[in-house]
Amino acid sequence: MNLRGALCAATALVSVAATAAMSEEITIATVNNADMIVMQKLAPQWEEATGNTINWVVLEENVLRQRTTQDIATNGGSFDIIFIGAYEAPIWGANGWLTPLDDFADDADYDLEDIFQLVRNGLSADGHLYAVPLYSETSFTFYRTDLFEKAGIEAPTEQILYDPDFMEMAAKLHDPENGIYGTCQRGKAGWGENMAFIGPLANAFGARWFDMDWQPQLDSPEWNAAITYYVDLMTNYGPPGATANGHNENRALFKDGKCATWVDATSAANDVRNPNTSSVADVTDFFKAPMQVTSNGTGWFWSWALAIPASSQKIDVAKDFLKWGTSKEYFEMVGETEGWVAVPSGTRASVHDDPRLLEAAPFAATIKEAILSVDPANPTKDPVPYTGVQFVAIPEFQGIGNYVGQQIAAALAGQSSVEDALANSQQFAVREMTKAGYIK
């Protein structure tokens, strides 16, 4: 080797050594859903391009919330990136627990303005952005077109009532002898599990969490009507063991052909309508989540997003991953590798307007319209002092929502009456709201 060649080789070795020295391992805590599974599959491309590596901590949804809440509230520093939602982002950001991402607006290639304003607002507090979305969603009704046709049911074109319309549908479609249940709704206890469905259901029946003086309303006739309906619906026309079923379990049941109807996240449509992942891809369609005495708050608003705890020691590397994993290029990469029907929904205007997406997933236009029609500031029939459709945007809601979810799961399991479940919930909520200073 001549001198020039030796110098080049030495320079290359120094460069590799420098890259290795600068490389970092970041730890990401995430839920085990389809879109994040795809991200884990594609993330080696980011690792190869940057020299950094990822330690994935994949958790069930309730466990993820428990672990990340505990870690971030105690400044534990276990995670560099956490997968959180529109409830946590503004509250944790306002508490100083998250790293602001305002500088993303200065990156022309990232194009923050391309993310729907409703979504950006939902992940911000006091004018600062604290998380960037992988996907956003509202809720609508998934239904089996083949089963509707067989039962002689016409698909709704307008928003139907839970009672009697949806109940009668479920009754006609229920065929447990052939392994098909009239409806599959969330029963697993948790403020982000069963209460994500039950909150909008209660809104539909005219219920609210608190009145304008922050007095809990959980023992009201409206809550009683909603939960009585829910227990009757699931007991008569739902799958057995429903208290073990959250979003992912019901998604699996629906994709496996076990459910005739399912009111849940619009984001699941990409997976349910994907012939590579679903046995009912070609016989699934959608209509609005039902209403009852009001249509206010009958479709939830949520965004699953990536945020950086303020305790992370690797903020620059974490920001680089966030920009990669929520960029226009990332969504295109998903489309090219997994099929455009699998592209995460409800986030970027350019993605929803992409002809490739609209051809592969014509329902994407319906999802966009549904998400942008949600009004978290007007979630109920009567006035309320809070924002949020399926949650209340106050720190105390996490504990209250979990407790109420447990009580309602007990009623669904037949371990308590609806009246006792709601009385216990009311007592707990009054105690917590008094302790927090909302009521005297």
Q: Any idea what the CATH number is for the domain that residue 60 is in?
A: 3.40.190.10
Give residue-wise pLDDT tens across range 203-237. 999 999 999 999 999 999 999 999 999 999 999 99
Domain span at residue 289? 139-300+377-435
Which residues of the chain carry a pLDDT beneath 70? 1-21
Number of structural domains in the chain: 2
Query: For position 21, what pLDDT does the model report?
Result: 47
Q: Is residue 16 part of a domain?
A: no
Query: For position 32, what pLDDT does the model report?
Result: 86
Together in a domain, 168 and 294:
yes
Q: What pTM did the predictor assign?
A: 0.90
Together in a domain, 195 and 294:
yes
Query: For position 22, what pLDDT does the model report?
Result: 74
Together in a domain, 280 and 391:
yes
Q: By C-alpha distance, which of 110, 65, 117 is closest to 92?
A: 65
Q: Is residue 9 part of a domain?
A: no
Record the tokens describing residue 202, joined without a space.
Answer: 């209660």
Together in a domain, 227 and 334:
no
Q: Is residue 11 part of a domain?
A: no
Q: Is residue 72 part of a domain?
A: yes
Query: For position 16, what pLDDT does the model report?
Result: 37
How far, CA to CA in Å, does 200 sit from each of 142, 190, 197? Answer: 16, 15, 6
Together in a domain, 165 and 192:
yes
Query: For position 13, what pLDDT does the model report?
Result: 38
Q: Is residue 12 part of a domain?
A: no
Query: For position 62, what pLDDT does the model report?
Result: 87
Together in a domain, 307 and 411:
no
Are 360 and 281 in contact by the 8 Å Cβ rule? The answer is: no
Query: For position 14, what pLDDT does the model report?
Result: 36
Together in a domain, 381 and 328:
no
Domain stop point among 335, 362, 389: 362
Together in a domain, 256 and 397:
yes
